[in-house]
């Protein structure tokens, strides 16, 4: 019972640390994106291997889900933006670059 609650706690902390890093850097007037990038690199190198097996599976599945949802949202947003445009051909380079 105690081990299960600790696995939940370590998974929650692993997911929330990049958010804490982002909020701290934004509060200090620094780049939040760069902060999340370096937090992810450091956490993958040091913190991920110290998680339990079930927490590693959960964290991997969670971040895979979040990345898939973000990618889907970006491409839907780009599609709506292109479809709602007045059909000018000024974005042809951007469309080919995106594909």
Q: pLDDT tens, 1-10?
A: 566 678 888 8
Question: For the stretch 38-70, what's the b/e string if a residue is b when 16 or more beta carbons lie within 10 angstroms of its beta carbon?
Answer: ebeeebeeeeeeebeeebbebbeeeeeeeeeee
Residue 58, C-beta contacts closer than 8 angstroms, at least 6 positions apart? 11
Return the SS3 of 4: helix
Q: Determine the average pLDDT of the residues in 7-24.
A: 89
Whether the model clears a pTM of 0.85, i.e. scores above it, the answer is: no
- Helix extents (H) in the chain: 2-27, 32-42, 53-84, 92-98
């Amino acid at each position: 019972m105690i081990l299960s609650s600790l696995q939940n706690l370590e998974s929650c902390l692993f997911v929330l640390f990049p958010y804490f890093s982002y909020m701290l850097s934004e509060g200090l007037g620094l780049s939040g994106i760069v902060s999340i990038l370096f937090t992810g690199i450091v956490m993958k190198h040091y913190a991920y291997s110290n998680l339990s097996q079930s927490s590693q599976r959960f964290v991997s599945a969670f971040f895979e889900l979040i990345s898939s949802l973000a990618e889907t949202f970006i491409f839907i947003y780009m599609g709506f933006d292109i479809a709602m445009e007045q059909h000018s051909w000024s974005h042809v380079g951007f469309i080919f670059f995106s594909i």
